[in-house]
Amino acid sequence: MNRRTVSLALTLTLALGISGNALAAPTSSSLSLKQVQEQRQDLETKTEQLDNQITQVMQQIKDNKDKIVKTSNDIKQVQADLNKAKNDIESQRKLFDQRVRAMYINGADSYLGVILDSQNLSDFITRVDNVKKIMGYDKQVINSLNSKKAAIENKKQLLCNENNKLISLKSDNEKKLVQLSSDKSQETKVLASLKQKETQLTPQENAMVASATNKVNQVKNNTANTTVSPSYSRGSGSSSSVSSNAVVAYASNFLGTPYQWGGNGPGSFDCSGFTCYVFAHFGVSLPRIASDQQSVGTAVSRDNLQPGDLVFFGSPAHHVGIYVGNGCYIHAPKTGDVVKISPLNRSDYSGARRVL
């Protein structure tokens, strides 16, 4: 979602949802409340999408930083290898001269000196032949070392180029994060205005949330003294009940925990950080981003949802939560909110996955 799209969405929302004329239409008060709730849900969805984009950018920045650190360390190591290669070449040159001098014990300080110190023609021919052999070996080794040095220099250049790209990407992502945060701030203000007009949920939603919360509390109490193995699979009978109850009970421990971009728990969460944290407790590693979590496990139809299933919103997903039963799910909603149980009655619901 670019800035122009966000601005247009805000303008439309303000025009349709905030104006007194829209709320003063000649309809019943319940219809006015329904309109406000629909507009509020639409804006909350847009807010979640922005939160998801911000989380992705923050993850990209973190990955960039990690790669920059690794690349910088690789460059240091390559430079050390390069210095060693240069020293090896110089040492090898000296070594060959030392071998020649030792062979004839005549104090000559070069191959030419060895040849010129020959005693007669036969000695001269022998020395020339030996020096040629040593020089050939010398040249072979030096060439090998020079090739190694060139390869190391090439590797260093590639690493430096990669490091520059990573630094540039990090800068771009940081600018993108600033813009997204600004867009999010505007949406938050509009959402706050809508919430002032919506003083209560519908009785049906209240009943759904209350029922689901009671069920979660019962599950939590029943599993309080139960030790759960970190690895098990769903199936028929008691094993399915245990796994479902365990996930729901553990997730409920974080009700009221504040939402924060990039929050990995336990003090704060974003939506995908919350699901990652909960399932990691049971030995299940989930991708960090909601859209990536949408491809793990097994697809589940809405009619066959079971507590503990992941539920997704948007395609690709911009939000994720955990189904708790009674038509409700637990999730970390958005900035300024906390982990809570909400009705699964959103129009952007896009499917569920079973990962246990």
Average pLDDT over residues 204-218: 76
Of 143, 177, 197, the last residue of a domain is: 197
Whether 341 and 214 have beta carbons less than 8 Å apart is answered as no
Judgement on whether residues 185 and 301 belong to the same structural domain of the protein: no
Residues 185 and 211 in one domain: no
Do residue 292 and residue 218 come from a single domain?
Answer: yes
pLDDT at 99 (0 to 100): 60
Last residue in a domain, options 167, 197, 227: 197
Task: Provide CB contacts within 8 A for 16, sequence distance 6+.
Answer: 22, 39
Same domain, 218 and 348: yes
**What is the pLDDT at residue 281?**
93
Rg value, the chain, Cα? 35
The verdict on 269 and 340 lying in the same domain is yes
pLDDT at residue 157 tops 70: yes
For the segment 298-315, the average pLDDT, to the nearest whole number, is 95
Give residue 24's pLDDT band: very low, low, confident or very high (50, 70, 90).
very low
Lookup: tokens for 255? 């009700």
pLDDT of residue 95: 72
- Give the pLDDT confidence score for residue 135 in this predicted structure: 63
CA gap 283, 31 in Å, rounded: 47
The vertex-176 CA angle with 293 and 161, nearest 5°, equals 90
- Most distant pair of Cα atoms in the chain: their distance: 125
Which residues are CB-contacts of 58 (< 8 A; sequence separation ≥ 6)? 177, 261, 262
Let me know whether 179 and 213 are in one domain.
no
d(CA 90, CA 142): 9
Mean model confidence pLDDT for the chain: 75
pLDDT for residue 304: 95
Quote the domain boundaries for residue 279: 203-354
| Percentage, residues of the chain above pLDDT 70 | 67
Is 10 a residue whose pLDDT tops 70? Answer: no
Do 118 and 244 belong together in one domain? no
Query: Which element (helix H / strand E) includes 265?
Result: none
Task: Summarize pLDDT for 78-133 with one digit per residue, the tens.
Answer: 888 888 888 877 777 777 666 655 554 444 445 566 566 666 777 777 767 776 76
Lowest mean pLDDT among 41-55, 99-113, 285-299: 99-113
CATH for 74: 1.10.287
279: pLDDT confidence band, cut at 50, 70 and 90? very high
User: Where is the domain boundary, 197, 219, 253?
Assistant: 197
- What's the structural domain count of the chain? 2
313 pLDDT more than 90: yes
Same-domain pairing of 85 and 218:
no
Q: Which residues contact 43 (CB under 8 A, 6 or more apart)?
A: 9, 13, 17, 187, 190, 191, 194
* Same domain, residue pair 241 and 288: yes
- Whether residue 274 is predicted with pLDDT greater than 90 in this model: the reply is yes
With a CB cutoff of 8 Å and minimum separation 6, the contacts of 275 are 286, 293, 310, 320, 321, 322
- Both 17 and 87 in a single domain? yes
Q: Is the pLDDT of residue 231 over 60?
A: no
136 and 117 in a single domain? The answer is yes
Q: Are residues 155 and 211 in the same domain?
A: no
For residue 352, give the H/E element and its range: strand 349-354
pLDDT at 324 over 90: yes
Pick the most confident of 9-18, 185-194, 229-238.
Answer: 185-194
CATH number, domain containing residue 239: 3.90.1720.10
pLDDT at 65: 86
Looking at the predicted structure, is the pLDDT value of residue 7 above 70?
A: no
